[in-house]
Structures are given as C-alpha cells and as structure tokens.
Structure 1
C-alpha cells in the first residue's frame, strides 16, 4: 500500500512539474524572453531541460527519503559490497571450522563405539563376579548365623548364671527390707492404736454436745470464715505447702479451743485432699500475693466435724494511707437521733464503696471493717454540733489491701 501511494505521489508530482515547465516554455516562446543573452528558442530549450532535471531530482529525492534501500543503493553501495565480502569470508571460515568439527565428531563417535564394547565386556565380567560374590556372601551369612547362635547360647548360659546370682542377692536385700518394714509396721501399729484411743476420747467429748445438737445450736454457719492469712508470691512451692499447712493447723487449734478440747492433736477440721492439692497448684502459679480463707462448707453443730473449704483471692493494695474512701454531703438534722442515722447511712455507703473497690467483705455480715464504739460516738457528736448539711469524708488510716480490714478516719465539716 505504501509503494502504491509513493508511485502515485511521484506520478502526480512529475506531471505537475512537466505541466509547469511546458507552460513556462510556452510563455517564454510567446513573449520571446531571453536568458543569459540567448535567443528565445534556446531559452525555451533551457527551461525544458531544467524541468526534466527537476523531475529527476525530485523523484530521486523522494525515493531516498522514503526508502532506506534506495539510500543504500545510491550512497552506500561500496560499504555494502565490503560488508558482503566480509560475510563471505566469515562463511568460508565457519565452513572450515564445521569440517574440522565433523572430523572430530567422527573420531569421538568411533571412540564411543569402542568404549561401548569395552563396557559390555566389563558388565559381563561384573555379572560373573556378582554371581560368585552372592554365593560367597550366602556361605558367609550361614557361617555368621551359626557363630551368632553359638554366641547366643553361650551368653544365655552365662546370663542364667549371673541372673541366679543376682536373684539371690536381690532376695537377700528384699528380706532385709521386709524385716525393716515389719519393724516399722509394728511401730505404726502401736502409734495407730494410740491414735484410735485418742480419737475415741475425742468422740466421747464431741458426743457431749448431743443435747446442744438436739436443740439446734449452730457452732459455725455456712460460709463463715474460720481463718484468713496471706501467702506471698515470692515463696517456693515447699514454703507455700508449709504456710498453707500451718494455716490449716492454726485453724484446727482455734476450733479445738472453741470446743473446749485440750488434745491439740485431735482433728476437728476436715479439708478434702483434692481442695488442698488444687490450692497448692494455684498458689505456686500465682504472680502476686494471695489471700487464703478457710470457711465453713455448711452449718456445723456441736458433735460434728467442721468441713472446711479453701478460698483464694488476689491480694493487692486497694487504699493507700490517707486516701479518700468516700465523701458525701449528708443532712445532719437537728437531733442526736438524726445525726446517728446520718452517720450510719454514711458508713453503709463507705462499706459498699470499699467492696466495689476490691476489699473482701465478711460473707456473713457483709462488712469490710470495724469501728470502735468510741470512734462512732465521737463522729456522731461532731455531726450533732452542726445543723443541716455536713460533709463527711472517710479516709484510710493505713495502707489497706484486699484482705482488709478497712480502718477509717472520718472528717466532719459544715456544708452550709
């Protein structure tokens, strides 16, 4: 398509130039114009020649601009011939190298064929040697098996002898251990007989409370705290066991004192072994101090053993010294009775706020601290001195942890 367009352009352009040249020649002839002092006829001929030159020049110029091959044919023929000559020389050199490579390939092919023949011969010899080796290996294995059987029989015979000697030694050691065990069991029997007698005495003492049981007098209520202690996270597992065991023993002594039993070896407190083991594991894995509460699992009356349970709580600082626990504006009223009611209501809110903050309350009474009668009376008197609104502020007396109890100071001032 490009060639057709180029030819059309050249044709149109040549025709246009020829037409213009003809018109110029005609005008020159008619007007008898002269160039360079020539006759009009000669001038017309010169115009025609120039027109032909322009047609040829423009044709070659357009072809040269439009086609790289035309430029090469017009201006780069010598370089093209030189390049062609070089390529011919390279082809000749490559042909020579190819002939040499073919000769080398033929030599390698012949060598490869000879090597294949040698490999076949070697493979035949290898097969023969492998067959012979299999026969020899089979004979060796039979000899080794026979030798191993002889060695095994020898080892078994020697082992039986050593085993018999060892059994004799073990039986003698077992006899000594059993003798020691018999002696220990005899001692344990005597100790157990003593414990049975002591427990019988304890049972007799506990049975003294049967009349109280019939009347329904409860020794401990369900959930009542028997003892509270704190075990530190820095203790080792053995120290934790010792601390927990000490807490249980101390609680047992307190129960015996409450029952009026003098025998401190008596067991009035029963705690399940599973609860004890679980508490040890939780305490050993804790990263901070833990509150240990031993509480009654149910209502306990005189004559029954106290079934206890272990409760664990994290012990952390709840209130720092002088930290505000609760503050509120109360109506003090105008009488001592109204002042007392205001103070008691404020204390109830302090108790609720402390429980929310994290101090453990008494499960029976729901309180987190105690206040002496003198402190309560003094606070009521202070409130009674004011009429109307007073601001009560409760602050912690000391650093108080979750284990409690919370001890507070109460500041009273007018809020009028």
Structure 2
C-alpha cells in the first residue's frame, strides 16, 4: 500500500513539475534567450523540458535513496513472485518424497506382519513339539518307576536286564536334552517376539510422524497457493490502476458558522455544502454510486444526525470528511465526519519559523535550509492544532515555482539574509496555512519580499 501511495504521489508531482517547467520556459521565452542558435520559443521549450527532467530525476532519486521499501517494491516484486513459486515447487517435491517414504513404510509393515504370522506358526509348532516331549517324558518316568519296582524282584536277572537298563537311561538323557533344547528354543522365540513387537511399535510411530508431517505440508501448500493468488490479484489491480481512494484521505474540509439562535435549517445547508464538496471530490477520483443510491459517498444516518447536533451548538466549527477504507474505481466511498472547534491559531503577520542564510551556499544547501524552515512551520502548526492530512502528516503544499524564486534570490545575495516564514492571513483550525518568505539583511535592514505565496504550506 505504501508503494501505491508513493506512485500516486509521483504522478501528482510529475504533473506539478510539468506546470513548473512550462512556467519557467514561458519566462525564458519572454526574455527572448537563444541557445545553440535555436529560436527563442524553441529555447524556452528546451529549458522547460530540461527543468522538468532535472526536478523529476532529483525527486525520484531522493525517494529511492530514502525509502528502501519503495526500491524493493519497484524492482524486486517479480523476484518475490518467482521465489514463492520456487518454494511451492520445493514443497511439491517434498510431498512426493514423503509419499514414497509412506509407501515404503507400508510395504515394510506388510512384510513384518508376514514375519509375525510365520513366527506365530513356528511358536505353535514348538508348543506342539513341547507337548509331545512332555508326554514322552511322562512315559519314560513311568517306565523308570516300573523298572525300579521290578529291580528288587529281578536282581537275579540283572546281568540280562543291565544292557536294557543302560539303553533306557541313554534314551532318558536324550529326552532330557531334547526338553532343554525345546526350552531354549522357546526362550529364543520369546525374545524374537518381543523384538518384533518393538520394531512394529517403532514403525507405527514413524508412520504416524510421517502422516503428521504430510498433513502439515499440505496445509503449508494451500496457504502458499492462497498467498500467490492474492499477490497475483493485487498485481493485476496495481497494473490496471484500479485503486482510486485511500483510507483516511481527506475528501472535503469546510467551516460551519453557528451563531447564537441560528436556524437549524441554515446549519444543515452549510453541512450539506461540505458533503457536496466531498461528493464532487469522490466523483473526480473515480468513485461512483451504486443504484438505486444517488451519492458516491456513504454516511450513516446516525453519524450525520450526531454531526448536525454538534454543529447546532453556537460557535465556529471545522468540518472534515474522510474516507474510511481504500476504494477501487467505480465503488462508493464510506466516509467519516470529523468536527473540531475552528479557532484562530496564528494572526496575520505571525512569524512561524526564522533562520539566517549565509551567502555562497549551493542551491541544494539553500533548498535544504528552506525545507527545514517549512518543516518547522508544519510541526508548529500541528502542535498548535492546525488540521493536517492524516496520510501525509502535512498541512498543505507550497508552490514550487515560488520556492525556486526564493532559492535563486538567496543564491544571488552577497550578504547574510534573515529569512522569516510569515502568515499571510489569520490562520484557523480548518486551514490552510498561507505563508510568505520575508528576507532582510542580517544586520536588521529590511530587504525585499520576492515571494508572496499563492498556495499552501506543507512540511
């Protein structure tokens, strides 16, 4: 928005510069000067063009040096759009990688499920084998008991039975070994089962994390797409120059006089004249009413009634009409009414700022000193209650032609001059501030006043 304001300001200044250059060329033409064997009229045109180009280049260069944001907005807007598109492509690539990783994780999960099913089958087979071994062990124990019972009765047959007993003991040791091996196998399978469960839990947590990251990337992608769409829409509007009125722009300023016992109808007519000025200003800036409405400015009835009630009080009132929001061409403008007591701030002839200009200074240095005086007058006026522009913070403008005449007069001076900024008329709250530069020798002898301002002063 600041870039749009500066561009509008540049367009306004360019028009003003064209007028200044034309006036300078006109004066050169009246003096019948010739350059490069040109006719006086052509020389005047050439001087006007050179003056306009010089002032325009100086103004644009100053703005670009003092306002880095303006430089970036004018020269790096395309780079910002390209950077946003590059970030969107990077996010799309990250989304594709995450989707590939998600597919890999799902395949790994399926493989682990198959391994878990195989483990469960092996565990079931091991349990079946363990049951068989336990049955065999029970049978062997029973046979051993039977053999020990028969041992007392068959001592005489020990020599014949000894080999069979040794074989039974060997088989018993083998069965015990198988039981121990089965126990170790069961312990190993239990360890593998726990490890697989830990791996499965870790994979599920990784999958949840990946899904969360994917959701965040989708959200960021949508946000970037919305920002890019908004930037493209704003760029189209800026190229078309559709923005007509800025928020807080002053559409009209007027004074309503309410003497004691004044007719309410007369007060209403004065207020309606100020509203009519705002209507004309809004139409000139490109605002249009929406049928069936007839006015380009929109004001709430309650606010208008409150303003009228305030204006009916005896006194002099400064009324200012401001736009509430930025509006495009063809749109109506909602407005706000501000009312201030219209009091005299400066009497005619009051000195608002004063300084001594030494001889031998360059044109730029003299301009800087004069601008400091104008700025002092602007700040003092606002501090005393003079209404300023809410957007620019100034109380008006100063004629560039008159300003340059003062600069030329100071450059030609060979003695120090005391420069004063003096109010031309009584200045009230509603403004504008009309001033003149008065110059006298620093010793106190009054000099000439080559500039009588026909415009207004700004900071």
- TM-score interval, normalised by the smaller of the two chains: 0.3 to 0.5
TM-score, normalised to structure 1, is 0.45
TM-score w.r.t. length of structure 2: 0.41
